[in-house]
Amino acid sequence: METNEIMEKEVQRAVLVGFNNTSKIENIEIESSMDELEELAKTAGAEVLARIIQNKASIDAKYYIGKGKVEEIKQFSLDNDANVVIFNDELSGSQIRNLEEAIGIDVIDRTALILDIFAQRAQSKEGKLQVELAQLKYRLPRLTGLGNQLSRLGSGIGTRGPGEKKLETDRRHILRRIDDIKEQLDDVKKNRETQRSQRIKSELPIVALVGYTNAGKSTLMNSLLNMSVSNDEKKYVYAEDKLFATLDVSLRKISLEDKFEFLLTDTVGFVSKLPHGLVNAFKATLEEVKYADLLLHIIDASNSDYKLQKETTKTVLKELGINDKKIVDVYNKIDKMEDIISLNLDEKSLCVSAKNGTNLDKLLELVRTELGVETIKTNLTIPYDKGNVLSQLHKDAIVISTEYAEQGIVCEVQIDKDIHYKYKEFEKK
């Protein structure tokens, strides 16, 4: 109830503004980019009234867009009772101030919007600290520009810190707070390193789920947890039809019936033009990905912009310095698609439905192969007088089941390809 009331008060009527640089051959289509901005704006709780796009060969230093467009936005805002303008690019402090003065309502850029969503989503102490740090670093050089935003007393997009806290507005306080947060993050990091070294000792391979926001990473994690045979209580992760549903990295052990085990980590989703400060802030969290043995790149194949989203993820991974990892493309949500021919997949890629469980067995097989654990399942019949073979078999392979038959003990085993030859003679002809 209470959160709904807060949300209601904060519904902002937004005009989205995009800049289409006609001098560049853009690889990101402006319409796709605006679609994404609209999703982000809605996620932050705004109502989108219109999109206005400026086609221009160069950026205006004062307003970012041309004066004529500024007038158009002003008129539209007056006629339609808009109260916020959201730009698709990052603006400087003085551009924000000039625009706010000219248009007469709040102006926010894409970075502030994304940071705002992250601030609302952060759950863990570390996540909250990272987001606040990114927000303060964004604010610092813009303090003189954020005229309207500062006077809004912490309501509305761009002014909210993690947990509905109002962001600092005083330069000296901001600087002090930044130092304070960095110190706290250092402590968290030390803690994480201890945990990691314990994990490395456990020698289980690590598989990381990466991909665009809303692709279905967390849903896949939950489905794989469901296939896991561990007796521990299954700790499901939060999955929702929302951008940035996941902000905290979580790690779960997946144990399969044949004793194949690995650690699976779910990560924060990506989006194009992810603010740099934020990427930096999340580097520590995403370090988990750096230690992974295999990345599963989850792609929402049912999304018409899946190609752009796929490229975005690859770009962000590069920015994070992660480009030397084994990576497998996993096309998700195929239950929503009529055919998958249009996807034009290479042989290493796989189509799945995290929701319905389609092809998840194949996915696990692929994980096994990519991790270099090539095993085969076979039936062996060990004569009763070869007790030593049976005890050796228990060391070499995973014995799934045993049955006492006339000719001997029939064992269903999962065995590494490399040592399979040792037991050839016990296989049924």
Ligand X SMILES: Nc1nc2c(ncn2[C@@H]2O[C@H](COP(=O)(O)OP(=O)(O)OP(=O)(O)O)[C@@H](O)[C@H]2O)c(=O)[nH]1
Within 10 angstroms of residue 163's Cβ, the number of other Cβ atoms is 12
220, 332 contact by CB (below 8 A): yes
- Segment 261-300, which members bind ligand X (CB under 6 A)? 269
- 14 annotated as belonging to a binding site for a ligand: no
Q: Which residue has the tokens 């982000």?
A: 40
Binding residue (CB under 6 A) for ligand X from 12, 120, 148, 218? 218
DSSP string, 164-230: GPBPP--HHHHHHHHHHHHHHHHHHHHHHHHHHHHHHHHT--EEEEEEBTTSSHHHHHHHHHHH---
Pair of tokens at residue 169: 């507005």
Q: With CB under 5 A as the contact rule, which of the stretches 88-96, 133-141, 214-222, 226-234 interacts with Mg ion?
A: 214-222
Q: Which does 33 bind (CB under 5 to 8 A by kind): Mg ion, ligand X, none?
A: none
For the chain, counts of helices (H) and of strands (E): 15, 13
Cα 218 from chain centroid (whole Å): 9
Q: With CB under 5 A as the contact rule, which of the stretches 26-34, 145-153, 246-254, 278-286 interacts with Mg ion?
A: 246-254
Tell me the closest approach of the beta carbon of residue 292 to ligand X, in angstroms. Answer: 16
**Is 264 or 393 the residue whose CB approaches ligand X more closely?**
264
**Is 73 or 334 the residue whose CB approaches ligand X more closely?**
334
Q: In what order do the strands lie in the sheet with 12-21?
A: 46-56, 12-21, 84-87, 106-109
Tell me the closest approach of the beta carbon of residue 66 to Mg ion, in angstroms. Answer: 39
Binding residue (CB under 5 A) for Mg ion from 218, 313, 332, 359? 218
- Segment 318-337, which members bind ligand X (CB under 6 A)? 332-333, 335-336
Which residues contact residue 184 at a Cβ distance below 8 angstroms, ignoring those fewer than 6 apart? 129
Pair of tokens at residue 173: 């306080």
**Is 162 or 211 the residue whose CB approaches ligand X more closely?**
211
Q: Which does 216 bind (CB under 5 to 8 A by kind): ligand X, Mg ion, none?
A: ligand X
Binding residue (CB under 6 A) for ligand X from 83, 88, 149, 219? 219
**Is 35 or 72 the residue whose CB approaches ligand X more closely?**
35
- 247 annotated as belonging to a binding site for a ligand: yes
Helices (H), 371-416: 387-396
Indicate the DSSP class of residue 377: E
380, containing H or E segment: strand 375-382
Tell me the closest approach of the beta carbon of residue 216 to Mg ion, in angstroms. Answer: 8
**Is 85 or 209 the residue whose CB approaches ligand X more closely?**
209
Q: Is the dihedral of CA 123, 129, 130, 132 positive or negative?
A: positive
- 217 annotated as belonging to a binding site for a ligand: yes
Q: Which does 111 bind (CB under 5 to 8 A by kind): Mg ion, ligand X, none?
A: none
- 305 annotated as belonging to a binding site for a ligand: no
Q: Tell whether residue 127 is a contact of ligand X (CB under 6 A).
A: no
Site string for ligand X, 152-191 (x = CB under 6 A): ----------------------------------------
- 215 annotated as belonging to a binding site for a ligand: yes
Which residues contact residue 129 at a Cβ distance below 8 angstroms, ignoring those fewer than 6 apart? 181, 184, 185, 188
Question: How many residues form the binding site for Mg ion (CB under 5 A)?
Answer: 4
Helices (H), 23-66: 30-43
Q: Tell whether residue 313 is a contact of ligand X (CB under 6 A).
A: no
Q: Which does 336 bind (CB under 5 to 8 A by kind): Mg ion, ligand X, none?
A: ligand X
Q: Tell whether residue 245 is a contact of ligand X (CB under 6 A).
A: yes
The SS3 call for residue 307 is helix
103, 52 contact by CB (below 8 A): no
Smallest CA-to-CA distance from 161 within 184, 127, 187 is with: 127
Contacts to Mg ion by CB under 5 A: 217-218, 245-246
Annotated binding site for GTP: 211-218, 244-248, 266-269, 332-335, 353-355
Annotated binding site: 211-218, 244-248, 266-269, 332-335, 353-355
Annotated binding site for Mg(2+): 218, 246
Contacts to ligand X by CB under 6 A: 211, 213-219, 239-241, 243-246, 269, 332-333, 335-336, 353-355
